[in-house]
Structure 1
Amino acid sequence: MGAASAFATMMSAQRGALFGWVPVCLAVGISLYFQMKFEPSVIHIFMIAVIGAFFGAVAYFLPETTRPFAVAVMLVCIGVLLAVVRAHSVAGPVLSFRYYGAVEGRIIAIDRSQSDALRLTLDDVVLERVPPSRTPERVRVSLHGDRSADIAAEPGLRVMLTGHLSPPSGPVEPGGFDFQRHAWFARLGAVGYARTPLMGVAEPEGGLGVFRIRMAASARIQSHLGGDTGGFAAAITTGDRSAISQASLDALRASNLAHLLAISGLHMGLMTSVVFAALRLVLALMPPLVLRWPARSIAAAGALVVAAGYLALSGGNVATQRAFVMVAVALFALMIGRRAISLRGVAIAAIIVLALRPEALMGPGFQMSFAATTALVAVFGWMRDGAVKFGPKWMQPVVAVVISSAVAGFATAPIAAAHFNAIAQYGLLANLVTVPLMGVLVIPAAVVAAVLAPIGLEMVALWIMGLGVDWILFVAHFMADLPQARSYVIGPSAQVVPLLTLGFLTLLLWRGRLRWCGVVAMAASFVIWHGSERPDVLISDTGTLVGVMTDQGRALSKERGAGFAASNWLENDGEGISQSAAAARWQNDIPVIHLSRKRAVAAFSGCVKGQVVVSSVAFDQGDMPCFLHDPDSLKHTGAVAYHRGEEGRLVITTARSIAGERLWTQWPKKKPLRHDMKQAQRKNNLQ
């Protein structure tokens, strides 16, 4: 058989299976947009559109075996254009300086920060001495200090406080999580904190009706279920996480049960399944109706309405929107007599999500959700087609739960480890003893409570729901307290996750022997991950913290301050130690000088060639042969990393060089490092 004939045979085998690659091609285009180091101009956008249209037109004339490749190029171009349109559609003013003064705005979101402080998101913002054209559309403020004088935060309430605001910060290290990009798509133009009392300016006006209902429902749940039990119950029903403690959140993360707190595919699927089953049961009790009307389609339509209501009640965040789309596709398939769960349905859901929120592709939620769903559909489809069963019939529900937890865990574990640098050692066991309870007790009780709430009888259902929540919290704390409950892994290099994803999708979507190339790609990604190297020196974007890799691990220059950067550096290093423990490694023989105060700068006597000096205050000591970094220079470079190159030379990488010049970046006019500036000045003087 010739090569052409073999190729034709291979492509013919893909008939009916190529639709699954449509969202993959869109995702490639979206990823290309976010990996660019510059913002595409109008000319670039026009060229991309022309290329996409050209290949779309050419595909019509190509033979069937090669047509998919032309369509793939067209879809990649469409993916780029989707990301461009979305990025420009959310554009708004971003604060360009540090601000201290009066902050006034309307409360549109209430949650808690990583430090467990109440956090408010405000819109319709007014800042003192800042013109409206430069005022951000939204700001987020964490409330620290004594809050006894605060008024109660309510949806839609117009408030005022005196706060410290700053632009969204860039990555804590080159190539790290880009909060600037995240804030851009969340329309956050400034973030900060306040220690002054929260004062009311005007009573809540019209609008934000769903938000008011959510917070009222959350308060009602918490009035019946106190403490973390009420906070957990409120979180899974209304999306309000402000009442659950940081200790319980940490325990849920350490036991791999944090996904139970987020309203995602599991909750939406369980909720709609309970409603669908209940409606079918009710309809079955009415034979005249069942004989005349399609009961299954009616039940699916009713479940879809409830799912839409759940979406609105939960706040409609990205994860919940994604879950709703997937459930809606499955229910619509039931209504028209198609298979509810299929890879085609997953592909349709992915296409819709990517079209509406292209930026979701870059987050762990999208990646983990669709990895788990794709793996589950593929595995159970294989078991269904092959009539594979494990154990007797009465054991099938238990076997299904075990297989579901195992498959979802294996599919999401590498992605979770890549993003969060941690693996919950007892996560599978914790899920096996809690997820079934969510399906048979917690979610059904929540549905009954919602039905009984209008007549004031929800307390019985909430009490039953609380029993299940108490068990979940008990398991989370018990597992988190076990020795080595959480292990840490080194942060992977940039090519690991794309290669791993490509291999995973090839294994599941491709037909024929070439699918096993996916296993090779996945194995290669783990080899590359294992060989990932961390920077020898890391410098925060303000100069307040320095981390140097030693034989014992990373040594930090301070035991307090810049905690977010410190925790991220240590997690990316694969270490689960505290900042103070890492600071204890800092010794006098560290080959980096950190000047953390003005007094240290005044006492600084000089440096040698090739040495790295970092100052947390503005610093200019004239012509020196070393690498100097201070707040002024770091504004232009962002966080800095040094690696050992050939012959032991230090090679510098900056956050700016990785992130580029994008819509969401707020870099000042570029200027060279301090020692380069001195060389340039000397050269100009000589000329």
Structure 2
Amino acid sequence: MQAALRETLLAQRGGLIGWLPVCLGTGIGIYFALRSEPGAAIWGGLAAGALVGLALSRWVEVAWRPLLLGLALVCCGMLLARGEVLRMIQPVLGFRYYGPIEGRVVDIDRSASDAVRLTLDRVRLDRMAPDRTPRRVRVALHGADDARSVTDWRPGEVLMTTGHLSPPGGPAEPGGFDFRRYAFFEGLGAVGYTRTPVLRLHAATGGASLWVFTQRMRLSRAIQTQLPGEVGAFAAAVVTGDRSGMGRDSLNALRASNTAHLLAISGLHMGLLTGVVFAVIRVGLSLCPAVALRVAVKKIAAVVALLAGAAYLLLSGGNVATERAYIMVAVMLVAVLLDRRALTLRAVAMAATIVLVLHPDALTGPGFQMSFAATTALVVVFRLMRGMALGPRWMRPIAAVVVSSAVAGAATAPFAAAHFNQISHYGLIANLASVPLMGVLVMPAAVLAACLAPFGLEGAGFWLMGLGLRWILFVAQTVAGFDGALSHVKSPGAAVLPLLTLGLLWLILWCGRLRFAGLLAVAAALVLWVQTPRPQVLIADSGGLIGVLGLQGRVLSSDKGDSFVAGIWLENDGAPVPQDVAASRPGLVRDNRHVTATLGPFRILQLRGKVALASVAGCGGADILVTNQIDPVEDRGPAASVTMPAAAAQTMGRKADAGCEVFDAARLRQTGALALNLDPAGNLVITTAAGVTGTRLWSGPSRNRRIQAAAPFRITLRAAATDQ
């Protein structure tokens, strides 16, 4: 047995570098999956384990070295993630704030409701000490300023307004997307809105990042001046990464047709740009025999393409997605300089490792997962197809585009479905009609515009760009309008994506027949996804909305209010419909501001507003009472059908003989959103978002939040019938 294992491990030596980012990412993933921060002893043990593993790997037999190195890399991944979190710690607003807000504009975009949104740094808030003031806040403009164009705002301007700010919110449901963690790594300490006019104070000086942002916005406005409308906004997004000019209809059409990746500055854009520059320089120098015979034309072209990619990275704002794309391209161009093959699994592994070292938090984002899934799949498929005839010479480029689009679409589909709950059925058609034009016309035209800009002739390049982008928008809108163009899937459980990813990586990286065990992991992940149950009842952290899973889908308690949360619930169910449609379904009993729902033998009563809360004596015959107000009653009357164990009551901070469980505004701020389900014994299990998320550095008391203690992960109320 030992000898067979030794031979199996020795057979892997040629492809071990592919496991480097896998082991590193496993450690990062373990850290982010924890529900509490490990203590100093554990971190010391991990550091010691990494050092011991690296040291022992030099002394053990060659066959066993990968195991020690893999364990050391897992420890290093956890340490890297911890270091990134410690580096990003900043003050976070611990309460709801209303008052003056002053700050410098460092980013401009649009919210989900299409309102102009400004990110401010150098923030000053009324009667708040500098050490408690968030370094960055994001404010959406409603009211008078909402009608103003994005181009009316200038980078570096110091603005002042009166508005509402609050801490970044937690998940809309237990186990859902945690906006607090996203905001933490974005450096946002508060988010909010204003309905009052914004005053311009003065322009502020800044460093290199502000200068780059200013140049980006100037170029974006220049492009949109040359190309007005949606086409110009699309061109600005492709060149500068500024999507603020894109309309909601165009964005939805691009997403529904699976061509939204053309909007983001990602590996495709970076690869096309550097590829065009590489080809132009190489062909241009090769046409000069005196140069071509004396210098390495290919390597000069690679250096110029590398510099062009770096300029594009700075021009686009240098966000994580573009940085990731540049690293992937840079690794391939450096391989050209070293006379190595540019597009290999080794290059992809090195790029993934660099990204994880620089930005460990990128592992959990859809951008990292989808881009490396597509790149890895393309490398593997074209390696398998090496030497295969793809038809006549004139058909080979067309066949390559078809294969590339199909492979990339298939590789990214499960990750897109998991993160965005949708599958585009005609994405291949849309990409086949769009991607070639992006490479043949749009990106070369962007390079042409950059070359002609010093002579004031950049308009010709932008006009050519406009032709290609106009066609892409037309294709997106046409495909999105097809019947059945888009279908929706429910959100997977927490274990699905890791299991699916590890199964696919095992299938690709392992050498030998055992690699097909990866298919079992993939199949298991898909089965788990299909069988993932959705919460039978959901309660928003505001107390203003509940949703009950019925025969026709989720029934909502209100047709307006908490619309963002309602949309997330319905999307995660895999059945997004307008909120008013979901509210019109049968399944809830509504009486003015009283909403009653039942779950098995348990009765849930929602009271919205102070008048509704005051009108109910005791528990109103309910087992669970939910209100968006602060309940002044300390102990409500007897429940109808609940017997609660004393231990559970103590965990919840309430008396054992309390009549019902009350979730008012104050308590919901501690627990977050709630999910209610019946277990096989008929007991009511209440899962809290705060309990699932845990007490982490981006969500716990250490971030200056007014949370007295971590909310319990799960509360169980026993049905009275089971106690008899």
**TM-score normalised over the length of structure 2:** 0.91
1:128 aligns with 2:126: yes
- 205-214 or 262-271, which deviates more: 205-214
Matches within 5 A, 1:157-168: 157-168=157-168
In the alignment, is the contact (CA less than 8 A) between 1:167 and 1:191 conserved in 2?
A: yes
In the alignment, is the contact (CA less than 8 A) between 1:82 and 1:355 conserved in 2?
A: yes
Matches within 5 A, 1:417-436: 417-436=417-436
1:608 CA displacement = 7.1
In the alignment, is the contact (CA less than 8 A) between 2:535 and 2:677 conserved in 1?
A: yes
2:597, 2:481 → 1: CA distance?
Answer: 35
SS of corresponding position for 1:661: coil
Matches within 5 A, 1:676-687: none
1:38 CA displacement = 1.1
1:8 CA displacement = 2.5
Amino acid of the structure 2 residue aligned with 1:619: D
Matches within 5 A, 1:310-459: 310-384=312-386, 387-459=387-459
1:390 CA displacement = 2.5
Matches within 5 A, 1:135-214: 135-147=133-145, 152-207=152-207, 208-214=210-216
Match of 2:11 in 1: 13
Amino acid of the structure 2 residue aligned with 1:172: A
Q: Deviations over 1:613-657 (max 9, x none)?
A: 211111244334222211111111111111110232111111111
In the alignment, is the contact (CA less than 8 A) between 1:49 and 1:77 conserved in 2?
A: yes
Amino acid of the structure 1 residue aligned with 2:663: H
In the alignment, is the contact (CA less than 8 A) between 2:688 and 2:711 conserved in 1?
A: no
SS of corresponding position for 1:628: strand
Match of 1:682 in 2: none
1:206 CA displacement = 4.3
Q: Where does the alignment leave 5 or more consecutive residues of structure 1 unmatched?
A: 677-687
Match of 2:708 in 1: 669
2:309, 2:389 → 1: CA distance?
Answer: 31
In the alignment, is the contact (CA less than 8 A) between 1:149 and 1:198 conserved in 2?
A: no
1:600 aligns with 2:639: no
Amino acid of the structure 2 residue aligned with 1:331: L
Amino acid of the structure 2 residue aligned with 1:282: G
2:101, 2:546 → 1: CA distance?
Answer: 33
Q: Deviations over 1:20-71 (max 9, x none)?
A: 0010000010011111111133322111101111222222222111111111
Matches within 5 A, 1:253-652: 253-384=255-386, 387-585=387-585, 586-588=587-589, 590-591=597-598, 592-607=604-619, 611-621=623-633, 622-624=635-637, 625-652=659-686
SS of corresponding position for 1:188: coil
Q: Deviations over 1:567-596 (max 9, x none)?
A: 111111110211111111253173132111
Matches within 5 A, 1:220-235: 220-235=222-237
In the alignment, is the contact (CA less than 8 A) between 2:695 and 2:710 conserved in 1?
A: no
In the alignment, is the contact (CA less than 8 A) between 2:104 and 2:122 conserved in 1?
A: yes
Amino acid of the structure 2 residue aligned with 1:654: T
2:229, 2:664 → 1: CA distance?
Answer: 45
In the alignment, is the contact (CA less than 8 A) between 1:608 and 1:626 conserved in 2?
A: no
Amino acid of the structure 2 residue aligned with 1:669: Q
Q: Deviations over 1:60-91 (max 9, x none)?
A: 22211111111100000000000011100111
SS of corresponding position for 1:31: helix
1:149 CA displacement = 7.9
1:259, 1:145 → 2: CA distance?
Answer: 32
Amino acid of the structure 2 residue aligned with 1:485: A
1:374, 1:654 → 2: CA distance?
Answer: 38
1:304 CA displacement = 0.3
Q: Deviations over 1:502-533 (max 9, x none)?
A: 11101111110011011111011101111110
Q: Deviations over 1:322-368 (max 9, x none)?
A: 00000000001001110000000000000100000000001111011
SS of corresponding position for 1:244: coil
- 194-203 or 106-115, which deviates more: 194-203
Match of 2:69 in 1: 71
1:245 CA displacement = 0.6
1:107 aligns with 2:71: no
Task: Select which of 244, 251, 259 maps to 2:253.
Answer: 251
1:228 CA displacement = 0.8
1:607 CA displacement = 3.9
1:606 CA displacement = 4.5
Amino acid of the structure 1 residue aligned with 2:66: P
1:448 CA displacement = 0.5
Amino acid of the structure 1 residue aligned with 2:170: G
SS of corresponding position for 1:161: strand
Task: Select which of 652, 657, 671 maps to 2:691.
Answer: 657
Q: Deviations over 1:299-319 (max 9, x none)?
A: 000000000000000011110
SS of corresponding position for 2:107: strand
Amino acid of the structure 2 residue aligned with 1:670: A
Match of 2:54 in 1: 56
In the alignment, is the contact (CA less than 8 A) between 1:542 and 1:634 conserved in 2?
A: yes
1:75, 1:389 → 2: CA distance?
Answer: 41
2:188, 2:583 → 1: CA distance?
Answer: 33
Aligned length: 674
1:252 CA displacement = 0.9
SS of corresponding position for 1:159: strand
Q: Deviations over 1:485-517 (max 9, x none)?
A: 211111111110001001110111111001101
In the alignment, is the contact (CA less than 8 A) between 1:149 and 1:197 conserved in 2?
A: no
1:478 CA displacement = 1.3
1:642, 1:550 → 2: CA distance?
Answer: 14
RMSD: 1.9
Amino acid of the structure 1 residue aligned with 2:316: S
Q: Where does the alignment leave 5 or more consecutive residues of structure 2 unmatched?
A: 590-595, 599-603, 638-658, 702-706, 716-724
1:479 CA displacement = 1.5
1:613, 1:392 → 2: CA distance?
Answer: 71
Task: Select which of 65, 77, 81 maps to 1:83.
Answer: 81
1:484 CA displacement = 2.1
1:671 CA displacement = 7.6
SS of corresponding position for 1:140: strand
In the alignment, is the contact (CA less than 8 A) between 2:618 and 2:636 conserved in 1?
A: no
Amino acid of the structure 2 residue aligned with 1:25: C
1:354, 1:159 → 2: CA distance?
Answer: 36
Amino acid of the structure 2 residue aligned with 1:417: A
Amino acid of the structure 2 residue aligned with 1:299: A
Q: Deviations over 1:380-412 (max 9, x none)?
A: 11112xx12332221110111111111111111
1:672 CA displacement = 7.3
2:597, 2:464 → 1: CA distance?
Answer: 58
1:569, 1:100 → 2: CA distance?
Answer: 29
- 543-552 or 312-321, which deviates more: 543-552
SS of corresponding position for 2:58: helix
1:500, 1:606 → 2: CA distance?
Answer: 49
1:593, 1:441 → 2: CA distance?
Answer: 60
1:550 CA displacement = 1.1
In the alignment, is the contact (CA less than 8 A) between 1:239 and 1:263 conserved in 2?
A: yes
SS of corresponding position for 1:646: coil
1:610 CA displacement = 7.1
Amino acid of the structure 2 residue aligned with 1:640: L
1:162 CA displacement = 1.0
Cα distance change, pair 521–671 in 1 and its aligned pair in 2 (3 A): closer
2:454, 2:606 → 1: CA distance?
Answer: 62
Cα distance change, pair 528–206 in 1 and its aligned pair in 2 (3 A): closer
